[in-house]
Each structure stands twice: as structure tokens, then as C-alpha cells.
A and B are shown apart, each in its own frame.
Chain A
């Protein structure tokens, strides 16, 4: 027999939680225990009193599974609110990446030129390397990294996606 799997789609969820010990383990553990996927996850506290954290999770799965993920997250006591940005309407997604490229000569010049096109900042440089800081949509970061691969890519660090609804709404 074969193990079955269903068509999946990508969703970005924001989860507002009480900033208490173990909450991250609760959430990641829920994903593991129920067989859900995490493509990326970011978390930081966002209120003045450090009481609330905002977690952004990029996940994928069939629509019914995405609905279950939302419901299961809402069931956790420290979770205040779950919003599926993908279905909630227009939203922005941003990611920060640090990209280290090593090389000399033409490749080094080309890397710098492309970095300017992408509006990446140089945050560290030696005569043989750059560290670029790039902010943008995951697609933009992907394509920048793909280009750098040919130009001496050494190392990549990505923050994972942070998302927010457009407009005046709180989420």
C-alpha cells in the first residue's frame, strides 16, 4: 500500500499569544503532533509590558487542514487570536535576510551591482566578502539568493515571514 497525501496550499497565519513560558513549544508541538507543516515561524513580544507576542507562521496544507490548524491553535489557552492573512484579505509579507557573498574581481563587482538593484544594504565588508541585508517579500529574497549563488554565496540567514493586514485593522 501507499501513504496518501493531499494537495496543499500556502497560508500565512498570525497568532497573538500570551508571552508565557512554553507557548512556543505548545504551538510547534501541536504542529508536529498533528502532522501539520511549518515553512517558517517568527516570534517576538510586541506590547509595552511584554505580555503579548505575535507569531507569524507560514504553513501549507489542504484547505480543511488549514481550518483545523486555526481551530486547534485557538483551542490553546494562551492564544488570543488567530488570523489567516491569506484568506483575510490584502496583506503585506516581509522577510529580512542576511546574505554573505565571498569573491574578488568581476563577481564581487557584479554582486554589489545586483545588491543595489535589490536595494540591499551592505552591513559588513572585507576585501574578499560582503554581508548584504535585504528586506522584502519572500519571492524577492528568493530571487536575490538565486542570483548570489552564481556570485560566491557563502551563507544565508532568513528571519522567516512577518505579515500584517493592509488598512486600519489591528491585525
Chain B
């Protein structure tokens, strides 16, 4: 039997799993692991500035590479600081393995220094978690943790390791435990009769629609290819959730744009009027469905998802298919055979009519400040000027996130990193760092807001340390814009605490961290600013001042149906009844 300590065994496991990067921050309860990391060339440790940054960076790495992100933090505050990122990964199905130090086993439960019940705290925001009490269990636990994190519906797994277990050598008497093979076997392949039924429904549809989500991305690049192939066979239009952008090319004539609260008019109208809806790897989230009792009333619904609990959770469906997106798409393509499908000419014509509303049109000038840059314009220019380089775009959360989703186009999967389910401000910068590490030659841009960026601004230092040329493009409107927009809609423009007061000088801040800072204040500086950003081979913050009064449209207000969208120019001020106010 080897004389390796728990910490050394852990290192070996991580290497065996093919881990390249560990995002972490040292502390008392992980010192033995950090000592093993010292001088170990096989793993690269990325020292973040705050454990929240570690978790989001690991998410960004995972999302952009398809590989699991690994986090290493200490006990107590180290673990609790990582919880937001863990919860974020749980909501968005991002594979993470989070290793947390714990106080020595003898001290567990004594309120020891930096003790927190990490397993208890993370129980409901992880796919699974472990407290390892014996180094002999470590190898099997890590192996199973990676398997659980990366297969089925991906998600975060926490392994809590007490300090004494990191130091101890496994006793020879105890045989190492083997991961239970009886448990955890996600269903990948769909039964043939369900595939046949789905084909019959799709082929017989007069107004079909594909509604795709993050599951297509999670299933791997092949799923995106297969989606394109199935669309080509069936000719049906495609819309996607926020998390699914990039699975289907934005330049395709049958691409409807994103659906949901800030989705396009054509996507939401097509959802509402469709007769057969094929949901692939999405979960009928409230941001997508609008008012449930008015959600796509005439359609037969097919739902393909690897997680059986997603099926019939919010919306009852006619055919639930449990399986992996890529596998099921392949089955559908094969079963389609020489089917022709119905003539969709009339359906496409109706869609063209909805498209003609040009729902993403926005006023050229701000009412309050005619010289200000419209934020939509800034994102459009950013897209036009950077698209050739096929960049990875991350975002924070708020108006800028929706504008990025609406006005930046995505043609490939794994290029779009955003916090969809949990909606975590402060996600974008660390996620961009993780993505850049996994894709050193790719242009990585965090489209940010001036409020969100401050939530993990300390990670500027991480990018400096590792010479990562990430770009942060701040749409600075001096407001927590989405909060302000809702206050306009719901609370008669009483802007309670949504003004971004005492902002830092972002250019000076960038320079203080060794970044380049660029300020864009009016329209004629926009293109030059973006060019200068791309021309610099190091990290850059662009502080792009935009119209303070611009809002994010189209919008389905709280409690409204897909057909009740507000477009730019609609009267939106005022108040709402309590039922609508109570909706998130």
C-alpha cells in the first residue's frame, strides 16, 4: 500500500481526471493540499482574489471548454464565499468539483475556528456532496464526484475534506471503497416508441417550433451540429433560451432569436401560435413562459430532457422524452428518414409578418441626452467589429446582459457565458478569466454593467497576475438599470437605491491594476474605442458611457402572456397590481 497522504492522493486523483487548472484560495484547513500543490507541475493553480471569483472562474472555464471546473477553498468563510458560485452552477447545470477544507474530524461540531457546516450549507445547491472522513475513501469519492458532476444533467459536487484526512495515510487494513456502480446511471437513450411518436407529431405539424436551451450546449458541440441537421430536415423555426444561445446560428433564416421576457416578438408569437413545440434541453422557466395559463395554448408539446424532474414541472407536456440531447437528436434524425413534413410556407409567412415589427428597433437618440450613446448601439458595434474573431462573451446580470443577448449574435456553442438561472451579478469577470485560461488564443469579452462589475472587481488582479488579456466592456449608465427599469414599470419611477453613486474612475482603476483603461463618452469615440481595446494585447477595461434612460425591450411584463409584449415606445410607466408585483 502506498504511503501517500490524503492530500497527495487527492492531487493524483485530480491529475488522473485530466484537470489542468484549479481555481482556489489557500487557508488554514487546506494547507496540506496547498503544500502538495507547491512545486507540482502537473496542475496549475489559479489564485483568485475572493472565493466567489474561484467558483465563477471555474464555471466560465467549464462553460467555455466543456470540461469540469475545479475549485479549492478553505473551510468556513472559504466555503461560504464559494456558495453563490456553487448555487449558480447548480441552476445553470455547470459541471464543477469543489474541494473544501474542513476542520479536523475531532473538532467537527465544536464551533472550531473557521468551522462551517459546509455539507449542510451546500446540500441543496449541489448535485451531490461528501464529507470524507477516511483517506481510504478519497480516491473513490473523487472519481464518483467527477462522474456525477460531468454526466447526466451536469452540476456542482462538493467534497469536504477535514484537515486530518488530508494529512493521514490510508490504513492498510481498510480496503479502498469502490464507487457504487448500482447508483447514478443517467438515461441517455430514448425508447424507440417515443422517438416514433415524436417524429409523427413533428412531421404532422403545420406550425412547428424548436425551443432549445442550455441542455443542447451541455450535451456537447455534437448536439449543436445535430440540432442544425434536424432543423434542416424539418425546416422548423428555432428559438432558444438565454442559456442556449449559440447552439443554432443567429444568421440562419429560420432563427427567431431568443424567447422569453426579453426575447423577440417573433419568437414569443411563434411559441404562442405553434401547433407542435419541441423543447430540447430547456426547462420552461418563468422567464421563458410568461403567464403559464396563456403559454402556447394550442400546441402539442414534446420535451426532451436528461432530467426527469424538469418534465411536467412547470408546464404539462404531451410527450416527455428522458435522454441526452445529442443522443435523442441523433435518434430523431435517424427516425425522420425520408419524411417530408408539411408545407410550412404559411407558417413562415406569418413569422415574417411578426419579424416585420422589428421588435429590436430602438430610438437612435436618448430623450434625456441626445448626444449619449445608446447601449444597444454599443453592443451592435461591438458585435460587428469583433465577430470575425469568434470571441467568447461573458456577461454580468441586468440590462447589459439582455442587450448582449439581443444584439450580439452567436453562431457557435460554448461562446456565451452568462448567469441565467441564479442571475448572479459579478459572474462575468471571473467567468471571462476562466474562459480565457481554457482558450488562451480566443478573444474573451465581459460585457458588463457599472454596478455588476463592482461585485467581483477584485478579480482584475487575477487577470493581471496570469497575464490574461480579457476585455471588460462596461455599459455605464450609472444605474442598476434593470432595477431602475422595474421601478419605472411598477413603482412609478421611485428609484429606491438603484442609482450607482460614488462610482470609481474605471480607467484609473484599470491602470492601478496594470490594465489598460479606455473611456468612451460619445458616439464618435465608439468605434475607435473598440478598436483600441482589440489592438491592446493585455487586459482592457472599456468604460463606455451610455444613455442613462435606455430600457430593455421587447419585454413581457410580470404576469403577462407571450402575446402581450411591450415594444420600445410603448407606454410603460406607472404601477401594477399586487398580483403582478409579487411575481419575480
Contact = CB atoms under 8 A, between A and B. Distances in A.
A162 to B, nearest CB: 23
Contacts of A68: 309, 312-313
Interface residues of A, number: 20
B332 to A, nearest CB: 23
Interface stretch (B20-28, B118-126, B234-242, B258-266): B118-126
B400 to A, nearest CB: 31
Interface string B291-328: 00000000000000001110111001000000000000
B172 interface: no
Contacts of A75: 307-309
Most buried by B among A21, A64, A75, A78: A75
B193 interface: no
A72 interface: yes
Contacts of A26: 123
Interface string A132-164: 000000000000000000000000000000000
Contacts of A33: 124
Interface of B, secondary structure class, is mixed
B131 interface: yes
A45 interface: no
A77 B316 contact: no
A72 B309 contact: yes
B123 A71 contact: no
B148 interface: yes
Given A1-B578, A1-B582, A18-B180, A77 B127 contact: yes
Interface in A3-55: 18, 21-22, 25-26, 29-30, 33
B182 interface: yes
A34 B198 CA distance: 31
A80 B128 CA distance: 14
A77 B579 contact: no
Contact of B184 (A1, A29, A77): A77
Contact of A30 (B124, B127, B307): B124
Contacts of B119: 22
A64 B312 contact: yes
Interface string B112-142: 0000000110011001110100000000000
A25 B126 CA distance: 14
Contacts of A110: none
Contacts of A21: 131
A64 B315 CA distance: 10
Interface of A, secondary structure class, is helix
B127 to A, nearest CB: 7
A116 interface: no
Nearest to B127: A77
Nearest to A79: B183
Nearest to A65: B313
A74 B153 CA distance: 13
A26 B180 CA distance: 18
B324 to A, nearest CB: 16
A74 B308 contact: yes
B183 A1 contact: no
A64 B129 CA distance: 28
Contacts of A74: 308-309
Interface string B563-584: 0000000000000011100100
Contacts of A76: 128
Nearest to B152: A75
A168 B143 CA distance: 37
Nearest to B309: A71
A82 to B, nearest CB: 11
Contacts of A1: 577-579, 582
Interface of A: 1, 18, 21-22, 25-26, 29-30, 33, 64, 67-68, 71-72, 74-78, 80
22 contacts: A1-B579, A18-B180, A21-B131, A22-B120, A29-B124, A64-B316, A67-B312, A68-B312, A68-B313, A71-B309, A71-B311, A71-B313, A75-B307, A75-B308, A75-B309, A77-B127, A77-B148, A77-B183, A77-B184, A78-B128, A78-B183, A80-B182
Given A22-B120, A72-B309, A75-B308, 20 more contacts: A1-B578, A1-B579, A18-B180, A22-B129, A25-B123, A29-B123, A33-B124, A64-B312, A64-B316, A68-B313, A71-B308, A71-B313, A74-B308, A76-B128, A77-B127, A77-B128, A77-B183, A77-B184, A78-B183, A80-B183
Interface of B: 119-120, 123-124, 127-129, 131, 148, 180, 182-184, 307-309, 311-313, 316, 577-579, 582
- Counting from the closest, the 3 A-B pairs by CB-CB distance are A71-B309, A1-B578, A77-B128
